[in-house]
Structure 1
Amino acid sequence: MNFIKKLFAPVDMTTGSSAKRIVMFMIPMLIGNVAQQLYNTADSIIVGNYVGDDALAAVGSAGPLLNLFLMLFVGVSVGAGIMVSQAYGAKDREELSIAVGTSINLTFLSSLIIMIVVPFITMPLLKLLGTPENIIKWAWQYLVILFLGVMGSAYYNILGGILRGLGDSISALVYLLVATFINIVLDYIFVKYLGLGVMGVALATIIAQFVSAYLSFRKLLKMKDLFDLNMHYIKPRKEPMKRLIALGVPSGLTQAIFSVSLLIVQVLTNSFGSSYIAANVIVMRVDGFVMMPAFSFGQALTTFTGQNVGAHKMDRVKEGTFKGTIIGVLTSIVIAVLIFLFGKMLMGIFTNTTELVELSYTMMMILMPGYIAMEVTQCLSGTMRGAGDTLTPMWISLINSVVVRVPLAYLLVGLSKTPELPQGNCLMLQYSLVTTWLIGATLTFILYKSGIWKRKVKLDK
């Protein structure tokens, strides 16, 4: 019983072996990120097998547009995680209570805006992106349902981020696994037995996320020994809200910029037709799992750094970053090798169409070197964010996404046009992406070593 209690308790990452603390904290997050990836993957597998390749393409083509608007919550989540981890590391109950309450309040306001405004502009945006006519209606149905239910998704992500900021990645993981199980079961029922198609997978997703959000909120209510959660702290507070936005907006904006660049590239993707879109969806789903160690180590290092900055232990931050990055890179190499060996088998889960399996596997192999680069980027960016410097990773992403990725994608596709390939070679999109990842890792490493991110720490002390 004591072991279970300890497992679900917040983790103090300011003491003990830094590598062990990071890895033990990261493992539940990795499992959780894999489970979260299962949301979209389950949607794709079920619609691909029970509705068809066009439905698979529709769900995938909706992704960049969906991510663009959800990036608002990524910003709130990152800001909340930094405020919570630093307050927890400093053992400041009042600041911790304010951080949690402000996060809950800001999430409500943000999600309300999206629910009211975004469904009305979804179809025009899909048309603007050149979404093929044979999949545009399905993509629209999928997106509108998800936007109307965005409050569940918002709290599902924000409250999980708060729990992780407190060092409690186990509870966040358990609630995520529960939601994933509900999502997959409802996907199957809604699509196979009720014939709801893409609308069914969207409904399953928002129902599961509301359940996870409820469980996370209930957990926070029980953590009275660490902070207070009542209307006094949930009510709007100008200064804490400004701080949360200042910390979170750069990360949210970073992801939004990335999403915009994906939307611009999506126009190119759509020009190659629904078959390429479907293959690209398969790649993104498998790619999402390969990326999980990078995102998990990055998130773990954000919490690790935040707590140790709060405790004024900068030497420990440096040590943890080095060890965490090395372990992360080795993990990514192992997973990349497994994908190389068993990739085609994984692609075959999504579709029975041989051409799609072959094309998606080829695309995946082009991206392979970029996974190690992404591990470096995420780990070092995680440390910078945990220290309060969310601007440096934002500028790196801005340069990469806008200055490098988009022009390079259009340039390579344009140069590959021939009489036989009037639209160009679709594989140029993958070559432009892996180049972007490699440049991003190089820039991140240089700026991390420069120590520019430490200025924020000095200001906060």
Structure 2
Amino acid sequence: MQIAARDLTKGSIYQSLLLFAAPFLLANFIQALYGTVDMIVVGWFTDAAGITAVSIGSQIMVLVNSMVTGITMGGTILIAQYMGAGQEHEISRTIGTMFTLFFLIGLALTVLLFGGASPLLIALQTPAEAFPDTMAYTRIAACGVIFTLLYNGVSAILRGMGDSVRPLLFISVACVCNVLLDLLFVGVFHWGPGGAAAATILSQALSMVLSILYLRRRDFVFDFKLQSFRLSGSKARKIIHLGLPISLQSTMVDISFLIIAAVVNTFGVTAAAAVGIAEKFNSFAMLPASALSGAIASMVGQNIGSGQPERARKVLRIGIVFSLIGALGFFLWVQLSPESVMLLFKADREVIEAGLDYIRAFSFDFLLVAFVFCMNGFYNGCGCTVFSMVNGLLATFLVRIPLVFLLGNMLGMFGVGLAAPLASFASIVLGYWYLFTGRWKQQGLISPEAAPAA
């Protein structure tokens, strides 16, 4: 089995960062298409209530995915460490543990989501006219959580082994399938938001099956025999130990989005639909910064490990420049023609008017997250994951959410949108303070607990 490796401690930082970030960007872009395609197709063939149902339902599913994203990353890191040590047997045991662990988590989440959908939607103050469709979307999507987790597990395994091309191909297949099934279920069969959810889970199930069949036909380290799907306590603890900080931060931030959605839902179905559309566009605008964050974490980790803190700091500066360039086009688009963004989803005039103020104010965050995401990647790469998590949670729960309540009542939808860039600004201030203290130089990427077992 060949070990794929890339030395990021030498050569041009500009070239290395761009090449390393490209697979992240493409995969993230295609992943973001899932919910967006659902909302576009539903917007074409239904009404504001249907758009609201997909918006709220997809936010819930994003939260579920975030709960396991960190755990998945923990598996990627552990496999990569064993790859570096050439311990194929430990890789096989880790893969068996990942599949078993993700299956059990997916089963538990399916039961919780399906049974708790109604009280959850009530807590989110889902508009009455959108409640039935939102319930259908959430419960159908809940039935596909296991497929989502196992597919993400396969991708995590391949990335940990140095293969970023196959996960990209698998998710591309899933995306194409999702578009076709959306048009069939929603456009032809008129199944509404529930049809969009069914299209998504069937597409991910297909991608999962294809990825596993691909691995079984190759000389792969894991044999996929029933007895190999065993939960190793030590491996599970290491995966959770590595991924828990990332998982906690992602989950808490997504919970904050649900809180904000609950506030917006009190404004009515029109406002909820407008924010739902804007957030789908916003997710694309932030893809460059998100991709660069992952690349920066890896590059900084290698350079800190090799005793080159100043090169690591230069990676951060260059990453911010690249992120700003990527964000600038989206920012100008919203400022010059916000109506065209809303019209992508064929929104009616009332939804467009409600969304214009929100997206104009929020778009300043496109520029600010170029700093925030890159700094998060930098601090994670340095080993300062606790600071990165605390900084993000403080900005979200002590700045953004209170401002949503305050500015929302004072300025309406413009105030709700403005809360995001103000929170990011607070995060940047704290992030640069920590950078100037130099404490990040004292952290190591590799700790004894994270090192592979002998």
- TM-score normalized by structure 1? 0.87
Query: Hey, what does 1:419 align to over in structure 2?
Result: none
Query: Hey, what does 1:347 align to over in structure 2?
Result: 342
Query: Hey, what does 1:455 align to over in structure 2?
Result: 443
Query: Hey, what does 1:396 align to over in structure 2?
Result: 391
After superposing the two structures, state which structure 1 stretch, 301-310 or 402-411, moved more: 301-310
| Equivalent residue in structure 2 for 1:443, among 407, 426, 430 | 430
Query: Hey, what does 1:325 align to over in structure 2?
Result: 320
Question: How big is the shift at 1:212?
Answer: 2.1
Query: Hey, what does 2:26 align to over in structure 1?
Result: 31
| Equivalent residue in structure 1 for 2:71, among 69, 73, 76 | 76
Provide, for residues 134-158 of structure 1, a one-character-per-residue CA deviation record: whole Å limited to 9, x for no partner.
0011111000111111011112223
Paired residues in the alignment total 445
Shift of the 222–72 alpha-carbon distance from structure 1 to 2, 3 Å rule, reads farther
Residue 445 of structure 2 aligns to a residue whose secondary structure is helix
Query: Hey, what does 2:60 align to over in structure 1?
Result: 65
Residue identity matched to 1:440: S
Equivalent residues in 2 for 1:65-144, closer than 5 Å: 65-89=60-84, 92-144=87-139
Query: Hey, what does 2:45 align to over in structure 1?
Result: 50
Retained in 1: the 8 A contact 2:360–2:414? no
Instruction: Answer yes or no: is 1:407 the counterpart of 2:402.
Output: yes
Question: How big is the shift at 1:308?
Answer: 5.9
Shift of the 303–145 alpha-carbon distance from structure 1 to 2, 3 Å rule, reads farther
Instruction: Answer yes or no: is 1:428 the counterpart of 2:399.
Output: no
Question: How big is the shift at 1:454?
Answer: 4.8
| Equivalent residue in structure 2 for 1:199, among 151, 176, 194 | 194
Query: Hey, what does 1:356 align to over in structure 2?
Result: 351
Question: How big is the shift at 1:71?
Answer: 2.1
Instruction: Answer yes or no: is 1:271 the counterpart of 2:259.
Output: no
Residue 440 of structure 2 aligns to a residue whose secondary structure is coil
After superposing the two structures, state which structure 1 stretch, 202-211 or 156-165, moved more: 156-165
| Equivalent residue in structure 2 for 1:249, among 244, 269, 272 | 244
Question: How big is the shift at 1:183?
Answer: 0.2
Query: Hey, what does 1:302 align to over in structure 2?
Result: 297
Question: How big is the shift at 1:321?
Answer: 3.5
Question: How big is the shift at 1:262?
Answer: 1.8
Retained in 1: the 8 A contact 2:400–2:420? yes
State how far apart, in whole Å, the 1-side matches of 2:208 and 2:312 are. 31
Query: Hey, what does 1:3 align to over in structure 2?
Result: none
Residue 195 of structure 1 aligns to a residue whose secondary structure is coil
Provide, for residues 407-431 of structure 1, a one-character-per-residue CA deviation record: whole Å limited to 9, x for no partner.
22212234x2xxxxxxx72322111
| Equivalent residue in structure 1 for 2:332, among 311, 324, 337 | 337
Provide, for residues 88-117 of structure 1, a one-character-per-residue CA deviation record: whole Å limited to 9, x for no partner.
455554554444443323211211111122
Residue 443 of structure 2 aligns to a residue whose secondary structure is helix
Question: How big is the shift at 1:345?
Answer: 1.9
Shift of the 321–106 alpha-carbon distance from structure 1 to 2, 3 Å rule, reads farther
Provide, for residues 204-242 of structure 1, a one-character-per-residue CA deviation record: whole Å limited to 9, x for no partner.
0001111222333345556757x5555687522222211
Equivalent residues in 2 for 1:360-375, closer than 5 Å: 360-375=355-370
Equivalent residues in 2 for 1:134-213, closer than 5 Å: 134-213=129-208
Question: How big is the shift at 1:372?
Answer: 2.1
Retained in 2: the 8 A contact 1:89–1:306? no
Provide, for residues 60-100 of structure 1, a one-character-per-residue CA deviation record: whole Å limited to 9, x for no partner.
12233323333221121221233234444555545544444
Residue 395 of structure 1 aligns to a residue whose secondary structure is helix
Question: How big is the shift at 1:246?
Answer: 1.5
Retained in 2: the 8 A contact 1:363–1:427? yes
After superposing the two structures, state which structure 1 stretch, 12-21 or 172-181, moved more: 12-21
State how far apart, in whole Å, the 2-side matches of 1:234 and 1:16 are. 42
Retained in 1: the 8 A contact 2:127–2:269? yes
Residue 457 of structure 1 aligns to a residue whose secondary structure is coil
Retained in 2: the 8 A contact 1:82–1:386? no
Residue identity matched to 1:116: V
| Equivalent residue in structure 2 for 1:383, among 378, 382, 386 | 378
Shift of the 94–85 alpha-carbon distance from structure 1 to 2, 3 Å rule, reads same
Shift of the 160–336 alpha-carbon distance from structure 1 to 2, 3 Å rule, reads farther
Question: How big is the shift at 1:350?
Answer: 0.6
Backbone CA RMSD of aligned residues: 2.8
State how far apart, in whole Å, the 2-side matches of 1:129 and 1:197 are. 21
Retained in 1: the 8 A contact 2:304–2:444? no
Question: How big is the shift at 1:58?
Answer: 1.3
Retained in 2: the 8 A contact 1:254–1:398? yes
Identity %: 25
Question: How big is the shift at 1:285?
Answer: 0.9
